[in-house]
Amino acid sequence: MYLLGEQPAYADTLINQLQNIPARLLNGLSPCGPALEFSAVDDLATLLPGNQLFLLDNGLLHGCVDNRALFYLHEGDLVGLRQGVELPHCRLRSDGPLSLIPYLRSEVFQHIHADPQRSELFLQYLVGQTALLSDAVARLKQPEYRSTNGFQRVASGEVLIRQGDEADHVFIIIEGHAEAFVDGHKVGDVPKDEIFGAMAVFTGEKRNASVITSEPSTVMLIPKDQFLSLTQSNPKIAHSLIESMARRIDLLNKQITQLKSLETSG
């Protein structure tokens, strides 16, 4: 088994250790028939006899759960272990030729459990595969949208961001409302669910505006490093941030147009 995408540091070593175990488990046991050959398959499990296990002799199988690719199997892996247990359907598919050597399922387990060393090897194989799958699932899961600083309840008139300060956090108003000021003049509103304070975090410059709550509010603070990591790994956060910045740019353009109109009329 190999994981899709970037491998964790321990994965290559573990995969190499696991890869030769199936052949050792089956050593001394004869196949129950000729190799099964397939040109390409969309769901291998529907084509295999339920009373057999298979050694993947040639080819590559992609493992998908809920249409999400998690791993792939290649030469030397065991196929068919998941039978007999109510588990989420794992679709094994291949775009190329496959060759599978069949063994009677009952004979394989009798052969394994007849020898303590083979039993221990089989346990190592199962535990190792589980560890790899757990890692694959964990890396597919989106990071939680959560601040290590947690939530803060603030009163009306609280200064959340002060113009000229260093940018070490990004803020989100969970409940409430705030207003943005530049040099004491109001330049905009910060409504519920708005991400603010991100521009200075990205540019590394000092805060160019102050943000003050206009009513009692609940605010989430996200540290700079954590926020930058989240925007790289979570498309929803990046999309929300782009929308927020687009609204502010549009508001600034309107304000500039209004100022120009006043200058002209004056």
Please indicate, yes or no, whether residues 179 and 211 belong to a single structural domain of this protein. Answer: yes
Please indicate, yes or no, whether residues 95 and 165 belong to a single structural domain of this protein. Answer: no
Last residue of a domain, one of 140, 175, 205: 140
CB 42 within 8 A of CB 17: no
**Residue 219 in domain:** yes
Angle at the Cα of 259 from the Cα atoms of 257 and 260, rounded to 5 degrees: 65
Q: CA dist 215 to 43, 171, 173, 184, 190, Å? A: 57, 16, 11, 18, 11
Please indicate, yes or no, whether residues 6 and 127 belong to a single structural domain of this protein. Answer: yes
Domain count, the chain: 2
Please indicate, yes or no, whether residues 257 and 158 belong to a single structural domain of this protein. Answer: yes
pTM for the whole structure:
0.50
Containing structural domain, residue 211: 151-265
CB 22 within 8 A of CB 75: no
Least Cα distance to 77 among 18, 137, 131 occurs for 18
Whole-angstrom Cα distance, residue 248 to residue 185?
Answer: 16
**Residue 145 in domain:** no
Per-residue pLDDT, 93: 86
Last residue of a domain, one of 96, 113, 140: 140
Q: CA dist 61 to 93, 198, 238, Å? A: 5, 43, 34
Please indicate, yes or no, whether residues 103 and 131 belong to a single structural domain of this protein. Answer: yes
CATH number of the domain encompassing residue 202 = 2.60.120.10
Average pLDDT per 10 consecutive residues for the chain, totaling 266 residues = 57 78 92 92 87 90 75 84 66 88 93 91 85 66 48 86 86 86 84 76 80 89 74 58 59 62 67
β-pair partners for 222: 170
Please indicate, yes or no, whether residues 12 and 66 belong to a single structural domain of this protein. Answer: yes
Last residue of a domain, one of 99, 116, 140: 140
Cβ–Cβ contacts within 10 Å for residue 167, how many?
19
Per-residue pLDDT, 241: 58
252 CB contacts (<8 Å, ≥6 apart)?
187
Please indicate, yes or no, whether residues 173 and 125 belong to a single structural domain of this protein. Answer: no
Radius of gyration over every alpha carbon of the chain, rounded to an integer in angstroms: 29
Please indicate, yes or no, whether residues 84 and 184 belong to a single structural domain of this protein. Answer: no
